[in-house]
């Protein structure tokens, strides 16, 4: 298989957060992800800021919480199905995530530290990749409820939005998506950022939720782009894209259309999440992974360091710093 084909398959697998562990051996239910102690000395944010992430350390994807106060990791979900794509409410008191516990992907909301997970999307179709709005009122996600999905391969779908209080669901009128990736909000919760690929429309797009106007921000013809961060800085969009023998993360300036690289200059890097102080990113990466598909790294915004945070033999990804005042 050629490199470009491998990269394409990894992008699709990342976007779907598909339901199979990558380890060749079954793991005991009690297995936990392992924190790299060196990271605590290098990445100062780990000393004060929690983060949620996905790992299949116990044999299937579960959502975990790193607690900075004790430098410990606890499990937030615990069942025999796939839970993935944690997104935080503003203030960090709740998470939303996708789950297969109803035999199809649904969006669940869970209050921390010990609240019960509640099915917020409640539909027989596939609902996936949630993103919580900065104003705390809405969760946007993809759903296959308006398209035909054969049950195998990439999941096509439309954008749907729910009001967190009351779970009123509405479809956002756009063309359907093929194999969706992350969704990002503008800081005023008035626009969405997303990627498309296929049909000659590869690139990064924005959607004004008031006018319904879709704008092509960056054309990436022949590439496999995706949104890399759900919490970009004001006036920017973070995206990943295939390049030669890897996948890089870039920051797109909405003012002048220029891009600057955020990820290390080698390897495959898909998702990044900015710390509340905007000085560090948690990056989902296949660089220097210890036998698994992905690890989680802390990368300085100024490029001064790049250190593995979770790089045991499990598959760890989709890390998100906990919002709040620190």
The residue assigned the tokens 């004001």 is 234
Rounded Cα distance, 283 and 246, in Å: 15
Rounded Cα distance, 311 and 308, in Å: 6
pLDDT at 155: 64
Q: Are 71 and 45 in contact, with CB atoms under 8 Å apart? A: no
pLDDT at 11: 33
pLDDT at 176: 78
Q: Are 108 and 77 in contact, with CB atoms under 8 Å apart? A: no
Closest CA to 226 of 173, 268, 281: 268
Counting beta carbons within 10 angstroms of the beta carbon of residue 300, is it exposed (0 to 12), middle (13 to 18) or buried (19 or more)? middle
Reduce the DSSP state of residue 293 to 3 states and report it.
coil
Map out the domains of the chain with their CATH numbers.
3-321 (2.120.10.30)
**Mean pLDDT split into 10-residue runs, the chain, 326 residues:** 35 37 47 93 96 94 96 94 95 95 92 91 90 95 76 70 83 77 93 87 93 95 92 94 90 96 90 95 78 84 94 89 81
pLDDT at 279: 95
Q: What angle do CA 129, 133, 137 make, to 5 degrees?
A: 115
pLDDT at 27: 54
State the DSSP string of 105-148.
-EEEEEETTTPPPEESS--SS-EEEEEE-TTSSEEEEEESTTS-
pLDDT at 125: 86
Q: Which residues pair with 320 in a beta bridge?
A: 52
Q: What predicted TM-score, i.e. pTM, was given to this entire model?
A: 0.87
């Amino acid at each position: 298989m050629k490199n470009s084909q491998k990269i394409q398959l990894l992008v699709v697998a990342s976007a779907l957060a598909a339901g199979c562990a990558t380890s060749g051996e079954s793991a005991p239910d009690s297995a936990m992800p392992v924190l790299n102690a060196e990271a605590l000395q290098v990445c100062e944010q780990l000393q004060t800021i929690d983060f949620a992430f996905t790992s299949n350390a116990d044999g299937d994807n579960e959502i975990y919480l790193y607690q900075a106060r004790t430098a410990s990791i606890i499990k937030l979900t615990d069942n025999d199905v796939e839970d993935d794509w944690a997104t935080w409410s503003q203030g960090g008191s709740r998470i939303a995530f996708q789950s297969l516990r109803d035999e199809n992907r649904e969006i669940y909301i869970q209050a921390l530290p010990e609240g019960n997970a509640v099915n917020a999307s409640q539909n027989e179709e596939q609902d996936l990749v949630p993103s919580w709005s900065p104003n705390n009122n809405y969760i946007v996600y993809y759903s296959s409820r308006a398209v035909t999905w054969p049950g195998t391969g990439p999941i096509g779908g439309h954008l749907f939005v729910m009001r967190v209080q009351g779970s009123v669901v509405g479809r956002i009128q756009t063309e359907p998506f093929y194999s969706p990736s992350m969704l990002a909000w503008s800081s005023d919760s008035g626009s969405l950022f997303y990627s498309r690929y296929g049909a000659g429309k590869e690139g990064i797009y924005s959607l004004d939720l008031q006018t319904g106007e879709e704008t092509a921000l960056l054309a990436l013809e022949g590439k496999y782009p995706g949104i890399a961060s759900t919490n970009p800085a004001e006036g920017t969009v973070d995206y990943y894209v295939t390049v030669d023998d890897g996948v890089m993360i870039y920051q797109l300036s909405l003012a002048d259309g220029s891009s600057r690289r955020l990820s290390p200059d080698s390897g495959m890097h898909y998702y990044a999440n900015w710390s509340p102080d905007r000085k560090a990113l948690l990056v989902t990466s296949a660089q220097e992974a210890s036998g698994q598909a992905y690890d989680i790294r802390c990368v300085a915004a100024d490029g001064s360091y790049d250190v593995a945070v979770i790089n045991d033999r499990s598959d760890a990804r989709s890390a998100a710093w906990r919002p709040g005042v620190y």
